[in-house]
A and B are shown apart, each in its own frame.
Chain A
């Protein structure tokens, strides 16, 4: 089983988390062209890399941001998605 160490929660099984996709800067839907909107919604460079991702901890309902490498599956950084939170768990 794979484990991840979170701020305030400590060492938790990764199976307690749900993957929420990679973090992307949302473009302004009203301001961009349809093509640019499609670029944002669909197209990306999917090659292996380290990326920032949304992960939801189901038991506590807290969203986290992980830095994870999509080739090695190693998680190098874990942050609260909502920076204001420190000890919600």
Chain B
């Protein structure tokens, strides 16, 4: 690559091929319309084309590719969840992630770091042991480690947390990784486009039309589009889509905020999470500390940022890493999290024939990108839910079969 870059620098013309092919004109009919051009939508389109040969597909995105929660998360990939359903699902995702750079012929900067979930109380230690046992049962590399092991791996951390809530141990998950989130969406998008899928940005869906209980198409700000199948993969905008079909869900939207510091020299190659302090942090390849917390205190359909968030987060961060008091916050932002009561996604078919839902991704959506796309593509192609997503159906709440996933980001338990 560096030699190619040097050659390019000396060239007179700019004849590099476009990363994405030119956008085709919007047709009036497709087999499948995917609403939402984030990681999940692109992955679904990619697997529909690659594994099921369905290429008459349009992905409609109201903004730009990967501009929603795909570009707003803290890029952590892991599979050390609490329930069997969650562990199996996220482990498949992690395996797919490991091969994505090769699949796409695009570097997604997948970097395996090791992931510590700190415990500051007896009850948190109990949950860590529980998670470790569930993980080991499914062959996931997870173990409970003691304070000395953590201190050795993360020497700059104050294990006493300023004397407030000393670290008692941690759940260590060696495969825990970070990846370039935009590249994941771009890789899937390009792969899908190369196989014939059309991606239409700045195309907003305003209504979904049905005829005797079956989807017939979508109304957009660029006209009506006929479609046999419509897949909603819009995370924080899910309630606005389901409202069009009068489908009720348990989803509530809460903003989830994150921020990065100015870049500093590499000092931390692991990911550190504290459920009790509601913080998680990793150091990016650019040297910035990427930090996040739990969701905002009240329901809100907005991506506004607040000072309250930065104050709360930095207060906790300085207990863990006292020297961060000298760092400046460079950027902060928010995404809209579609939170479910059991912290597990809602995936699969709905009561409306031909309408598929991929939602309820709350604070755990990025790491599920590949497997969500793959299983939803299967579900749409075969009109029956993939085995891995059967526990995540929308009617599980009516049947009182909740998943009870508490291994989600910064959920205190």
Show the binding face of A for B, using Cβ within 8 Å: 1-2, 15, 18-19, 22, 34-35, 38-39, 41-48, 53, 68, 70-73
Contact = CB atoms under 8 A, between A and B. Distances in A.
A39 B242 CA distance: 16
A47 B248 contact: no
Interface in B41-83: none
B173 to A, nearest CB: 31
Nearest to A20: B298
11 contacts: A15-B308, A22-B299, A42-B341, A42-B397, A43-B248, A44-B249, A46-B252, A46-B253, A53-B298, A68-B298, A73-B304
B249 A73 contact: no
Interface in B297-336: 297-302, 304, 306-308
Nearest to B250: A42
A36 to B, nearest CB: 10
B125 to A, nearest CB: 28
Contacts, number: 62
B48 to A, nearest CB: 28
Q: Is the interface of B mostly helix, strand, loop or mixed?
A: loop
B136 to A, nearest CB: 33
Given A1-B308, A47-B239, A70-B299, A38 B249 contact: no
Contacts of B251: 46
B293 to A, nearest CB: 15
A70 B301 contact: yes
Contacts of B300: 70-71, 73
B248 A45 contact: yes
A45 B239 CA distance: 7
Interface in B236-255: 238-240, 242-243, 246, 248-253
Contacts of A22: 299
Contacts of B3: none
A15 to B, nearest CB: 6
Nearest to A21: B299
Given A46-B242, A47-B242, 19 more contacts: A1-B308, A18-B297, A19-B299, A35-B398, A38-B398, A38-B400, A42-B341, A42-B397, A43-B250, A44-B248, A44-B249, A44-B250, A45-B243, A46-B239, A46-B253, A70-B253, A70-B299, A70-B300, A73-B302
A70 B336 CA distance: 12
A39 B248 CA distance: 9
A2 B243 CA distance: 30
B307 A38 contact: no
Interface of B: 238-240, 242-243, 246, 248-253, 297-302, 304, 306-308, 341, 397-400
Contacts of A35: 398
Contacts of B400: 34, 38
Nearest to B299: A70
B400 to A, nearest CB: 7
A72 B238 CA distance: 18
Contacts of B240: 47-48
A14 to B, nearest CB: 9
Contacts of B252: 46
Contacts of B248: 39, 43-45
Nearest to B254: A19
Contacts of B341: 42
Contacts of A46: 238-239, 242, 249, 251-253
Nearest to B304: A73
B12 to A, nearest CB: 52
Contacts of A1: 307-308
Nearest to A22: B299
Nearest to B398: A38
A52 B140 CA distance: 45
A1 B300 CA distance: 16
B308 A47 contact: no
Contacts of A18: 297
A53 B238 CA distance: 21
Contacts of A44: 248-250
A43 B395 CA distance: 10
Nearest to B251: A46
B92 to A, nearest CB: 27
A19 B308 contact: no
A73 to B, nearest CB: 6
B239 A71 contact: no
A30 B83 CA distance: 32
Contact of A42 (B297, B299, B398): B398
A83 B188 CA distance: 56
Nearest to A36: B398
